[in-house]
Amino acid sequence: MPIKINHLSYTYMKKTPNEVKALDDVSLEIPDKKITAIIGHTGSGKSTLIQTLNGLLTPTEGTVEVGDFVITNNPKKNKKIKELRKHISIVFQFPEYQLFDETVEKDVAFGPKNYGFKEEEALKKAHEALAKVGIDESFYKRSPFELSGGEKRRVAIAGIIAIDPDILILDEPTAGLDPHGSNIILNLISELNKSGKTIIIVTHDMNIVMNYSDHVIVLSDGKLAFEGVSSDLFNGDVSNYSIEIPKLFQFCKLLEEKGAKIEISKIRTIDDLFNQLKERK
């Protein structure tokens, strides 16, 4: 399901002295079955944007189209929101704070049960989802609260995978995790994408953007500042966006300046770089 956003604006506490315009006339497209990264400084409108995608927030102006669903500023027309949320789900920042049930399997089965699956089917879906995030049977009956931070987060993500949405939105999925925990989550995201899911990641980590994203959206003060591929972003002027250019990208530029013939837009990892250098020889 491709996503199309047309002239979207969102204002918090409209018509009060505390009015804040979080999104200002944003138009963009999020490609189907790709990994899109949304970046921008704190307060740039990232969280507001992702909450409009599944109807948690309704636009002040403009529309959001997700496949055939259209979300407008008229709440009466937005009747299919519950249906829409089966197709597009958000994993919020620090999702482990939202775990609540007695056991891991019950927690993950909550979503499918909520969408009408019977207990047994819901548990089956929960077990499948847990397998995908690398949580094995020995965890099923344990309390989610006695797990480590990284395990909790994987369980929380399994809760969303169990609903089997077409589009997954992850807000800072690796924040606060150690490098090992981060890699597990990132590999999982990559696998989900390969199995046909559209992925949207909100992140401050430009290494993730370089290594994983197909498409990048930059927001700045509620406006669309950039839309395209990461290499074009890093090549341009990023001084206003609170972005740290990845060291790998900087190194590729350095090689290019010294005359190496490499195609930076196709390089995501150190291995990619050296493979290109090898082919060139």
Partner 1 sequence: MKNVVIKNLNYSYNENTPVLKNINLEINQGEYVSIVGQNGCGKSTLCKLIIGLLEKDSGEIIVNGLSLNKDSIQEIRKKVAIVFQNPDNQFIGATVEDDIAFSLENNNIPREKMITLVKEYATKVGMEDFLTKEPSYLSGGQKQRVAIADALVRNPEILILDEATSMLDPAGKQEILSLVNKMKLENPNLTIISITHDIEEAYLGDRIVLLNEGEIVLTCRPDELFKNSELINQYNLSVPFIVQLQKKCQELGYQINDEDTLEKIGEMICQSK
Contact residues for partner 1 (CB under 8 A)? Answer: 41-43, 94, 148-150, 175-181, 204, 242-244, 246-248, 250-251, 254-255, 258-260, 270-271, 274, 277, 281
Q: Which residue has the tokens 């990284």?
A: 150
User: Alpha carbon of 116 to those of 52, 91, 108, 113, 126: distances in Å?
Assistant: 25, 21, 14, 5, 14
Q: Is 48 exposed, middle or buried, given 0-12, 13-18 or 19+ CB atoms closer than 10 A?
A: buried
Q: Min. distance of Cβ 272 from partner 1 in angstroms?
A: 11
Report how far residue 258's alpha carbon sits from residue 147's, in angstroms, rounded to the nearest whole number. 50
The residue (of 178 and 191) whose beta carbon lies closer to partner 1 is: 178
The residue (of 194 and 280) whose beta carbon lies closer to partner 1 is: 280
Q: CA 75 from chain center: how many Å?
A: 26
Q: Min. distance of Cβ 79 from partner 1 in angstroms?
A: 32
Tell me if residue 79 falls in helix, strand or coil.
coil
Q: Min. distance of Cβ 274 from partner 1 in angstroms?
A: 6
The residue (of 126 and 248) whose beta carbon lies closer to partner 1 is: 248
Residue 84 is given by DSSP the state H
Q: Min. distance of Cβ 68 from partner 1 in angstroms?
A: 35
The residue (of 198 and 203) whose beta carbon lies closer to partner 1 is: 203
